[in-house]
């Protein structure tokens, strides 16, 4: 039928396209003014009061007093709320499901994981996390990359994602499966790589299939069975080739490292961030300052297991180690903070309610940050770690309008960040009071 009247359909298709284009254009040009009692902008050391933020399309165009609101702007009045830059969590695993970690991928397809992971990152966005860095996830294929692509193409609402698809691990390392009999030849949750050639090939393959970051398990881990977080896993040669290869292809490297020696080797090799840094020593702190390496401590996750999952059979190692080393860990991170290491917020989120990821802010305050500095760690510093400081992380003209709000004063009570009442990503309201 349609073959007989091609003109008719072409005209209608064009009209539809024009309509869609116009709608998109007017949405781009819409002017919104967000009014709030208080503003923490990610840069200043003090909050501002009775503010207006003017947003045109997806960007902030002005920040000031109420007098800057242009005529005809759509006003979003948040009353006495405190507005902040969208929160940035630089260490998440949306596909991990706590107790099923390391075996889930044997039961669930990559497609199933992509759907579940999409839901998890959408929940995180509604909890206030407008940007996430996925730091290797429990999928043999590339579900996290597909989630990022689907969001970036506008198929679904979701946070901005930077993705390391897998954690690269040595045979017997934290990404391997070390708890079955040797007869079982199973594909591990991590990407198992050995030797300089193996590491080089794996880095190239990750990047070929869409990696924004390379994640290395430089030492053993807390959550995986059969390995020791105090052991260094990759050889210096393997570390060097991973960083050299990724750098040549323009992709940064992050290193999961608990042991003091592992931290030092990874920093010297030139990684951009150290994840955890549990047993970092004075020399490691000095090296991190010298190299400008970021630290993402992920403190709260240990408390989560101690307080809420102490009876988890699959995670007894995590519970035990978290208890044993908690005080030492907090002390060590305190030293790094006082020495001026750049610390960003990372929750190590893996499959629970994302509201509680904001408890990491309280952990950083316990380790020695002021609440203002902790907020900056979860906004501006996170953006700098991601290399996105030209786009997000602060509330100032020219930045993308990623804005959240809490009802109370997070400088008085940092747990306010667990109760985000308003979320805007790139000028679009995701959640309103």
Chain residues in the site for Zn ion (CB under 5 A): 348
Alpha-carbon distances, residue 139 vs 86, 135, 175, 191, 398 (angstroms): 28, 12, 11, 10, 37
**Judged by CB, which is closer to Zn ion: 89, or 146?**
89
Are residues 296 and 267 in contact, defined by beta-carbon separation less than 8 angstroms?
no
Determine the Cα–Cα distance for residues 113 and 397; give it in Å rounded to an integer. 38
Smallest distance from Zn ion to CB 348, Å: 4
77 in helix, strand or coil?
Answer: strand
Smallest distance from Zn ion to CB 325, Å: 16
Tell me the two tokens of residue 250. Answer: 């323009």
**Judged by CB, which is closer to Zn ion: 83, or 163?**
163
Determine the Cα–Cα distance for residues 9 and 237; give it in Å rounded to an integer. 62
Smallest distance from Zn ion to CB 174, Å: 9
Determine the Cα–Cα distance for residues 152 and 148; give it in Å rounded to an integer. 6
Smallest distance from Zn ion to CB 20, Å: 41
**Judged by CB, which is closer to Zn ion: 303, or 413?**
303
Tell me the two tokens of residue 110. Answer: 């990559």
**Judged by CB, which is closer to Zn ion: 57, or 136?**
136
Smallest distance from Zn ion to CB 44, Å: 31
**Judged by CB, which is closer to Zn ion: 189, or 348?**
348
**Judged by CB, which is closer to Zn ion: 238, or 348?**
348
Q: Which residue is nearest to Zn ion (CB)?
A: 348
Are residues 9 and 2 in contact, defined by beta-carbon separation less than 8 angstroms?
yes
Q: Which residues pair with 63 in a beta bridge?
A: 53
**Judged by CB, which is closer to Zn ion: 348, or 418?**
348
Smallest distance from Zn ion to CB 228, Å: 17
Smallest distance from Zn ion to CB 204, Å: 23
**Judged by CB, which is closer to Zn ion: 82, or 347?**
347
Are residues 280 and 260 in contact, defined by beta-carbon separation less than 8 angstroms?
yes
CA 9 to chain centre: 45
Tell me the two tokens of residue 248. Answer: 């040549």
Smallest distance from Zn ion to CB 403, Å: 27
Residue in 311, 286, 297 with CA at minimum distance from that of residue 385:
297
Determine the Cα–Cα distance for residues 420 and 422; give it in Å rounded to an integer. 6
Looking at residue 69, the DSSP 8-state letter turns out to be: P
């Amino acid at each position: 039928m349609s073959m007989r009247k091609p003109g008719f359909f072409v005209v209608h298709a064009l009209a539809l396209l024009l309509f869609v284009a116009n709608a998109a254009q007017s949405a781009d040009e819409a002017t919104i003014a967000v009014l709030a009692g208080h503003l923490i902008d990610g840069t200043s050391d003090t909050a501002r009061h009775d503010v207006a933020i003017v947003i045109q399309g997806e960007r902030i165009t002005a920040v000031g007093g109420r007098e800057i609101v242009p005529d005809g702007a759509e006003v979003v009045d948040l009353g006495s709320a405190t507005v902040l830059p969208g929160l940035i969590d630089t260490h998440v695993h949306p596909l991990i499901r706590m107790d099923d970690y390391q075996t889930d991928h044997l039961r669930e397809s990559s497609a199933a994981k992509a759907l579940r992971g999409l839901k998890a990152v959408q929940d995180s966005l509604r909890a206030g996390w407008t940007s996430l860095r996925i730091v290797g996830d429990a999928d043999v294929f590339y579900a996290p990359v597909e989630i990022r692509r689907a969001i970036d193409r506008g198929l679904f609402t979701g946070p901005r994602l930077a993705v390391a698809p897998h954690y690269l691990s040595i045979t017997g390392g934290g990404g391997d499966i070390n708890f079955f009999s040797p007869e079982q030849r199973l594909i591990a949750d991590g990407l198992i790589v050995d030797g300089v050639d193996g590491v080089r090939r794996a880095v190239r393959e990750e990047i070929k299939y869409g990696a924004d970051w390379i994640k290395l398990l430089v030492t053993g881990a807390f959550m995986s069975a059969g390995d020791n977080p105090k052991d260094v896993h990759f050889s210096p040669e393997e570390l060097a080739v991973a960083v050299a290869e990724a750098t040549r292809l323009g992709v940064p490297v992050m290193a999961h490292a608990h042991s003091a020696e592992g931290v030092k080797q990874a920093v010297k090799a030139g990684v951009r961030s150290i994840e955890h840094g549990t047993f970092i020593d004075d020399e490691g702190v000095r090296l991190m300052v010298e190299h400008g390496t970021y630290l993402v401590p992920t403190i709260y996750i240990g408390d989560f297991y101690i307080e809420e999952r102490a009876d988890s059979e699959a995670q007894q190692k995590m519970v035990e180690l978290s208890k044993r080393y908690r005080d030492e860990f907090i002390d060590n991170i305190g030293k790094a903070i006082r020495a001026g290491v750049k610390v960003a917020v990372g929750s190590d989120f893996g499959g629970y309610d994302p509201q509680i990821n904001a408890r990491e802010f309280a952990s950083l305050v316990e380790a020695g940050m002021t609440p203002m500095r902790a907020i900056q760690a979860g906004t501006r510093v996170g953006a700098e770690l991601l290399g996105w400081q030209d786009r997000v992380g602060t509330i100032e003209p020219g930045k993308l309008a990623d804005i959240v709000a809490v009802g109370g004063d997070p400088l008085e009570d940092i747990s306010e960040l667990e109760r985000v009442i308003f979320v805007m990503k790139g000028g679009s309201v995701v959640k309103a009071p």
